[in-house]
A and B are shown apart, each in its own frame.
Chain A
Amino acid sequence: MYILVELLQLSIYGIVLGSILTLGAIGVSMIFGILRFAHFAHGDLITVGAYTGLGFLMMTNAPFWFALPAGMAGAAIIAVLIDQTVYKRIRRRQPVILLISSFGIGLILRSFVQIIWGPHVFSFPGGIQRPWLVWELAIIPNHVWIFLAALIIVTLLHLFLTRTRVGKAMRAMSDNMDLALITGIPAERIIMITWLLGGALAAGAGVLLGLDSRLTPTMGWNILLPVFAAAIVGGIGRPYGAIAGGMLIGLAMEISTLFLEPSYKPAVAFLIMVAVLIARPHGIFKGAW
């Protein structure tokens, strides 16, 4: 009985972590689908989004949930600026050159966060919350908000991808680049919108992650590996798979703490990813997005 309660409790944490990972993994997957490279600065984009949201709160005294749209807008603009100043110039060479470039961009972003915010640890206002007791389970109110916020963001993204012309054009480019370009899809504009969305989703993950724990300059880098794992398990280049991948990785990471040191959580995500890469290199979920 006790183990069952424990398992359910960890599953709740897993779904919360999975919601955060999903937002990051969708961005990684979309960027890979359109630009064909693994974006290694995505973790640090997550960090930048969280700190941008916090900065907005500090400057305006707005209610705390304003951090989410403010951070998303900030990180979206920063992502587009990075693409226009750096990635755009090396896009026509091998995609792998973009990969090493993004590794450097990630370090630059992290250093800027360290310079602007210093080594202090920040957290969003709200303080320690008294959990709700439902049956034997403790539910932290923030966890409910994190899940709902992620759900709303993913739903809006789904409507955008399936109902708008731009969204459909993005899916077409990811499916078959040459065919899409022949039909006259404006590639540069679609790439820009991909970065806007990827940056906004990363910031969403960052603000929610900050709400769950605290803000540190390495918060995003530390969840980059689980985010990649979620994207790969879901089939990289397929944002809808990233949702399932995110949940699976989030649940596995939290439930593993039953029998492993919690500091090994990223390693659990990584092992699942390697297993999927060997057994099913295209992800465990079928179908295109």
Chain B
Amino acid sequence: MELSGIAAYLVSFFTFVGIYGILALGLNMQWGFTGQFNIGIAGFFAVGAYTSAILTTPESPWHLGGFGQPFLVGVLGAVIVSALVGLLIGWITARLRTDYLAIATIGIAETLRLIIANESWLTNGVRGMSGIDRPFSDFFQALGLSSAMGSLIVVAAFLAGVYFLVERARQSPWGRVLRAIRENEPATEAAGKNIGRFRLEAFVVGSAIMGLGGALYAHYFGFLSPEAFLPLYGTFLVWVMLIAGGSGNNLGALVGAVVIWTIWSGSEFVMSASLPEGYGGYAGPLRVILIGVLLQVILIARPEGLLPERAPQAIATTRRERARQQ
């Protein structure tokens, strides 16, 4: 491969790592901190992606649109709409136990995928939406950068922003309540915390982050179809990333995104190079088996992940504690 080919591949690689990193941070807010079992990530991902695509594309006879709004408006719309969907779902499922929440979320994700595939007036159905512009491509062109490189910079900036916010949230009293709910719900309630409200807030924030990831994906990839939001890509990989990296640990979520995306996309190279002629169709299922087995090994051998969760440093209240911390 030529040098420019390698560079282009690395740009694409890190853009996907960034998008998956954002999804993993969103899931960490729900599962890692609060213990909410969302396996409908693909649904929020899709809502964000389609919202931003519809808001920003020029008029087309094939789907709803023609608003022609700038990239940032699309992203903002994606965050707001996915937060609203999260609010509605969180409100409906507020009283449900973990297993029921899991079934409800995957049901919503699959229903959203059915709507995207069937309501072609809205999304052009299975034929998909194209012509979604990359962010600020004129600006980056003026700087002499490709639009792909520009996407990577934008994704990295958003990732940094989200990381900063969720890390602040984790150390804040608000994040402490979420972890308390995860560890011991009755005790937290006895301490006077409004459990339903905190859970709903965490669910909505996590959903909004996932919607942001969806919008960034739409603008990087430029084409959307229901295929991209199958549970395998949209949900399962994100879960494996968070568990491998260490749920409850934001840095772990990012490490997981890098490691699992390296294995997932690297296995494509290895398989296409090593499978004999005519067996190329086996590559896809073999890669899924590889990731699936990896998940089982992690769950059995190292359930806390590569970077286990660590409690944030306690606020020193007495003189002796302060002295010990120094």
- A residues in contact (CB < 8 Å) with B: 32, 37-38, 40, 86, 89-90, 93, 95-97, 99-101, 103-105, 107-108, 110-112, 114-115, 118-119, 225, 228, 232, 236, 261, 263-264, 266-267, 270, 273-274, 277-278, 281
Contacts and interface: CB of A to CB of B under 8 A. Distances in A.
Given A111-B292, A278-B92, A96 B281 contact: no
B286 interface: yes
A37 B292 contact: no
Given A100-B295, A264-B118, A277-B100, 7 more contacts: A97-B299, A101-B295, A103-B236, A104-B291, A110-B285, A115-B282, A225-B110
**Interface size classification for chain B:** 35 or more
A261 B114 CA distance: 11
A103 B288 contact: no
A46 to B, nearest CB: 16
Interface stretch (B59-67, B101-109, B159-167, B260-268): B101-109
Contact of A38 (B95, B102, B281, B292): B102
Contact of B111 (A97, A112, A270): A270
Contacts of B99: 32, 37-38, 95-96, 99, 236
A278 B295 CA distance: 33
A139 B114 CA distance: 30
B103 A263 contact: no
Give the secondary structure class of A's interface. Answer: helix
A266 B92 contact: no
Contacts of A236: 99
22 contacts: A37-B99, A40-B102, A99-B98, A104-B295, A105-B292, A107-B236, A114-B284, A114-B285, A119-B281, A225-B106, A225-B107, A232-B100, A232-B103, A236-B99, A263-B117, A266-B110, A266-B114, A270-B108, A273-B104, A274-B104, A274-B107, A281-B96
B236 A86 contact: no
A242 to B, nearest CB: 15
Contacts of B316: none
Contacts of A37: 99
A203 B82 CA distance: 38
Interface string B249-293: 000000000000000000000000000000001101110110111
A118 B281 contact: yes
A158 B99 CA distance: 27
B236 A104 contact: yes
A111 B286 contact: yes
A104 B103 CA distance: 15
B146 interface: no
Contacts of B194: none
B303 interface: yes
